[in-house]
């Protein structure tokens, strides 16, 4: 690498102290930026603007971590005990159990690892759909490129909402404020300047740093540090990656594992001691303890849950909702309040100028009547959007963009900006509700251009422009302007007012302006918004619209999209009212079924979120701007628009690629379905625990020949149950899933009702079927009560085969009943979930293989049996179906007793 290349790639640490001329010389660059060829050369020398994540776990470490859960440790312990049993008494089949348990642990860990790895890849691919971009000056033109392509010497443009891509020295600022908290931890955004204000580079105001966020204003900077040579890159190389926080569903699963494992250990130890006291046979009771542990552990649970979440995230991605973390899918299901923006979410984000009013009256916008020259000056110069070739034709704020598109039909935008260069900008402030710029005219004078909320602008004006002449603005004229503004707002238009005045200095002016006119922009409602809001209301979810528009405009849009009805006016709260309301007063007004917030600043969203949460609501908050980030972070679920700022997308839990409100509703439905499905397959796999445990208890307490061995338990848990359980993970939501209230936040995956249904109703029926088939074989084969049978006795082998077959027959019925929680299974089409049919086919094939294949007979200690013994289980399977249908019927009829004890 050349000395020049070395110098270009690395900062010297004093870039804040030297002059801009020295910076340009050092970087071999100019304020006009680099050429594309030079940028490519520098990427070849210095590399791309990326740095390696420190503390990132290797694939091997991630794989080994799959064996840390309690289930795996229990099964490993069981495998070790089986190896010991084989060593103490060879030839009894314990070696098969040991190998099987070890194989289960490896398969389980590997499958879960593969699913999580694929999920990570999916999440990474989602991020690539929205790569961070930045604007640079290349070849003398402003270009938008990937942030990774930035090189030292590049001149970048900074605007509100940008995430700064690399370290740079400022060469131009307009009221630029930057949030340096990712590096310094200082929460208050800092005003930037061109001067060196501090010897510490991190405290100096003429610097911007990679990873920090532009809060307000705009500016330009020359890049001197990229990738690992940035301040944040150096911090990353010194800091280990922080450990992730468990999501609610992950905590739920951990609790579930602990409960089930505790039951397994307790039963294993208790009955080992009881058996040892009764029979005093150490080895037999050791095998028994292994069986109890294996019978209680649902080996397929973790991979099934991971797969369910992964499939849900893929389905949501197809519906334009990107979940940043798999487990967040489930959080959506408990949403009770959605706080949503209007623009682009409830509307189409196709803002266009619909009407223009000046002091001389309305213009014929449809026939392209030419607006006053001064109107165009303000619309173009007092504007931070820019025109682009791609749809919708502009980049930036939709209202400002629509003004540029409208103005471009009458004048050359670029020429006007060149002729009237800005000297100073006072960016839009949500409190002041206006934006003001000072510019230089071709004659050398200065003018101040103003645009903002009509009621604010009118108050700042002393004159009005009528037919090109300035006239005094009297009270009658003021009232007339206010009436015209309200008339436009009632049509659902977002109205901006325009004004100008002569300027003697670069200061911000508060009065003395000349009123020019109003521009009314319309953003058509999304056609699907009304239906989506109706679905929310049916689902018990309150939809709250938050907008910066005038209350009249807000009320009009709310009625158009179905947020309110004609019978009752919405609870309309303005930003100024919100400031004055006490916590108690606000809580009272939030109880209204229909709420609209108007003239609300993004900062006030946080107060709204906290107020709802204090009332016990689960809040989903949408946003797209920098100031929306705190509210989204504090909400239970933050949702960012795909077209929003980098800051908003980073703060969110979910990103909407299409900015569509209906997508949020679809995602909530998916979240409810996921939670339901996880409960369904938990209830399904727990049911078979009872017919797996009771044989060992009967073996100890009743001195029966062991009705089912460990090998057959594993055949159920990791053979016949797996595909049916996975089929429940892809089950579509029940018909009424969006017609019932949101589930309580405290509702658990494993509830007493789930345990009572699985362990108290379904499980005992399956066990009864197993014992009925088992005793039918024994008694018909001449067995008498109390007679012990060796494991190699053909009669014993047939008896345990019959028990196993009975459990499989009942589990086939169980997978059908588990497809719904409330709805009758008879309303579900047999072919609506083809994977269930595949699961049943797999159960029957495994059953046939274990009964009739000689090799399987050797491993599982089974023998061929007559079909008449298997058919004994059919009435029990039908009984299971009938009782579960009665349970669901009682729930639908709101039976208090059934809901309390059996609704899960």
**Residues annotated catalytic, as ranges:** 341
For 463, the enclosing helix (H) or strand (E) is strand 461-466
Q: What DSSP string describes 126-188? A: HHHHS--EEEEEETTEEEEEEGGG--TT-EEEEETTPBP-SEEEEEEEEEEEEE-HHHH---S
* Nearest CA among 226, 37, 38, 52 for reference residue 150: 226
Q: Count the Cβ atoms, other than its own, within 10 Å of residue 254.
A: 13
Please name the residues in contact with 242: beta carbons below 8 A apart, sequence gap of 6 or more. Answer: none
* Nearest CA among 789, 798, 815, 816 for reference residue 870: 798
Pull the structure tokens for residue 450. 């103003």
Backbone angles phi, psi at 366, to 5 degrees: -60, -40
Q: Count the Cβ atoms, other than its own, within 10 Å of residue 746.
A: 6
Residue with tokens 């903002």: 452
Pull the structure tokens for residue 662. 């209906």
- Secondary structure class of 582 (helix, strand, coil): coil
Q: Are 597 and 608 a contacting pair, CB within 8 Å? A: yes
Separation between Cα atoms, residue 858 and residue 808, nearest integer Å: 20
Please name the residues in contact with 582: beta carbons below 8 A apart, sequence gap of 6 or more. Answer: none
Backbone angles phi, psi at 481, to 5 degrees: -65, -40
Separation between Cα atoms, residue 589 and residue 585, nearest integer Å: 6
Q: Are 493 and 355 a contacting pair, CB within 8 Å? A: yes
For 469, the enclosing helix (H) or strand (E) is strand 469-472
Interior/surface letters 619-658, b for 16+ CB within 10 angstroms, e for the rest: bbbbbbbbbbbbbbbbbbbbbbbbbbbbbbbbbbbbbbbb
Separation between Cα atoms, residue 550 and residue 596, nearest integer Å: 11
Start-to-end Cα distance in the chain: 67
CA atoms within 13 A on the CB side of 902: 22
Please name the residues in contact with 474: beta carbons below 8 A apart, sequence gap of 6 or more. Answer: none
Please name the residues in contact with 611: beta carbons below 8 A apart, sequence gap of 6 or more. Answer: 583, 586, 587, 590
Q: Compute CA 499 distance to the chain's CA centroid, rounded to the nearest angstrom.
A: 43
Please name the residues in contact with 530: beta carbons below 8 A apart, sequence gap of 6 or more. Answer: 561, 562
- Secondary structure class of 339 (helix, strand, coil): strand
Please name the residues in contact with 809: beta carbons below 8 A apart, sequence gap of 6 or more. Answer: 769, 870, 873, 874, 876, 877
Separation between Cα atoms, residue 14 and residue 29, nearest integer Å: 17
Number of H helices, E strands in the chain: 36, 26
Please name the residues in contact with 805: beta carbons below 8 A apart, sequence gap of 6 or more. Answer: 773, 847, 851, 865, 869, 870, 873
Separation between Cα atoms, residue 673 and residue 734, nearest integer Å: 8
Q: Are 411 and 434 a contacting pair, CB within 8 Å? A: no
Separation between Cα atoms, residue 839 and residue 726, nearest integer Å: 8
């Amino acid at each position: 690498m050349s000395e020049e290349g070395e110098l270009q790639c690395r900062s010297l640490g004093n870039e804040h102290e030297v002059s801009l001329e020295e910076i340009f010389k050092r970087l071999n660059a100019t304020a006009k930026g680099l050429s594309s060829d030079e940028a490519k050369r520098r990427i070849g020398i210095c590399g791309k603007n990326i740095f390696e994540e420190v503390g990132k776990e290797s694939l091997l470490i991630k794989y080994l971590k799959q064996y840390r859960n309690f289930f795996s440790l229990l099964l490993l312990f069981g495998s070790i005990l089986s190896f010991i049993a084989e060593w103490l008494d060879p030839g009894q089949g314990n070696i098969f159990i040991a190998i099987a348990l070890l194989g289960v642990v490896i398969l389980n860990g590997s499958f879960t690892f593969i699913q999580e790895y694929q999920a990570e890849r999916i999440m990474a691919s989602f991020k690539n759909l929205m790569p961070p971009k930045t604007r640079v000056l290349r070849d003398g033109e402003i270009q938008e490129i990937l942030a990774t392509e930035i090189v030292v010497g590049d001149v970048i443009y900074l605007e509100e909402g940008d995430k700064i891509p690399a370290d740079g020295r400022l060469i131009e600022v307009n009221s630029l404020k930057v949030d340096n908290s990712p590096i310094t931890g200082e929460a208050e955004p800092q005003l930037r300047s061109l001067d060196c204000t501090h010897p510490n580079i991190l405290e100096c105001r003429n610097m911007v740093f990679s990873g920090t966020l532009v809060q307000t204003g705009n500016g330009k900077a020359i890049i001197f540090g990229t990738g690992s040579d940035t301040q944040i890159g150096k911090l990353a190389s010194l800091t280990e990656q922080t450990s992730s926080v468990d999501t609610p569903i992950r905590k739920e699963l951990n609790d579930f594992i602990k409960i089930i494992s505790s039951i397994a250990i307790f039963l294993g130890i208790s009955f080992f001691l009881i058996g040892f006291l009764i029979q005093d046979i150490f080895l037999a009771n050791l095998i028994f303890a292994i069986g109890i542990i294996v019978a209680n552990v649902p080996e397929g649970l973790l991979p099934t849950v991971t797969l369910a979440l992964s499939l849900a995230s893929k389905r949501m991605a197809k519906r334009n909702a990107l979940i940043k973390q798999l487990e967040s899918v489930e959080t959506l299901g408990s949403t009770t309040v959605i706080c949503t923006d209007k623009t682009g979410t409830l509307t189409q984000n196709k803002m266009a100028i619909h009407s223009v009013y000046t002091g001389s009256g309305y213009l014929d916008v449809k026939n392209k009547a030419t607006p006053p020259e001064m109107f165009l000056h303000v619309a173009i110069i007092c504007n931070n959007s820019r025109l682009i070739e791609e749809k919708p034709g502009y980049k930036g704020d939709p209202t400002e963009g629509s003004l540029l598109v409208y103005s471009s039909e009458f004048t050359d935008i670029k020429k006007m900006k060149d002729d009237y260069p800005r000297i100073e900008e006072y960016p839009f402030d949500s409190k002041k509700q206006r934006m003001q710029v000072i510019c230089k005219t071709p004659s050398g004078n200065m003018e101040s251009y103003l645009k903002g909320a009509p009621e604010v602008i009118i108050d700042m004006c002393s004159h009005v422009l009528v037919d090109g002449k300035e006239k005094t603005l009297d009270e009658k004229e003021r009232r007339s302007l206010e009436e015209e503004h309200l008339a436009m707002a009632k049509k659902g238009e977002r109205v901006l007012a325009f004004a100008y005045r002569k300027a003697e200095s670069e200061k911000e002016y508060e009065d003395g302006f000349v009123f020019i006119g109003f521009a009314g922009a319309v953003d058509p409602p999304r056609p699907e918004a009304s239906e989506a809001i109706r679905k929310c209301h049916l689902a018990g979810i309150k939809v709250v619209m938050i907008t910066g528009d005038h209350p009249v405009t807000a009320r009009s849009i709310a009625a158009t999209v179905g947020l309110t009805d004609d019978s009752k006016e919405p609870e309309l709260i303005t930003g100024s009212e919100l400031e004055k309301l006490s916590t108690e007063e606000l809580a009272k007004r939030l109880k209204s079924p229909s709420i609209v917030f108007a003239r609300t600043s993004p900062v006030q969203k946080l107060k709204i979120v906290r107020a709802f949460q204090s009332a016990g609501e689960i809040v989903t908050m949408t946003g797209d701007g920098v100031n929306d980030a705190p509210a989204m972070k504090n909400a239970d679920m933050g949702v960012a628009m795909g077209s929003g700022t980098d800051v908003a997308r980073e703060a969110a839990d979910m990103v909407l690629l299409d900015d569509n409100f209906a997508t949020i509703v679809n995602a909530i439905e998916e979240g409810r379905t996921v939670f339901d499905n996880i409960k369904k397959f938990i209830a399904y796999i727990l049911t078979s625990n009872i017919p797996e445990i009771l044989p060992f208890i009967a073996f100890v307490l009743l001195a029966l020949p062991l009705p089912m061995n460990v090998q057959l338990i594993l055949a159920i848990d990791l053979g016949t149950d797996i595909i049916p359980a996975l089929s429940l993970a892809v089950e579509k939501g029940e018909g009424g899933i969006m017609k019932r209230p949101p589930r309580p936040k405290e509702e658990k995956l494993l509830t007493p009702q789930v345990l009572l249904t699985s362990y108290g109703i379904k499980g005992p029926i399956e066990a009864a079927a197993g014992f009925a088939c088992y005793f039918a074989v024994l008694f018909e084969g001449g067995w008498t009560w109390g007679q012990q049978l060796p494991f190699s006795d053909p009669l014993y082998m047939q008896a345990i085969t019959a028990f196993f077959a009975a459990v499989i027959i009942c589990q086939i019925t169980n997978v059908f009943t588990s497809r719904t929680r409330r709805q009758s299974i008879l309303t579900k089409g047999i072919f609506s979930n083809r994977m269930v049919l595949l699961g049943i086919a797999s159960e029957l094939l495994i059953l046939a293989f274990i009964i009739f294949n000689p090799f399987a007979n050797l491993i599982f200690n089974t023998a061929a049996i007559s079909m008449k013994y298997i058919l004994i289980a059919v009435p029990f399977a039908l009984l299971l179906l009938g009782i579960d249908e009665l349970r669901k019927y009682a729930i639908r009829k709101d039976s208090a007793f059934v809901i309390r004890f059996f609704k899960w």
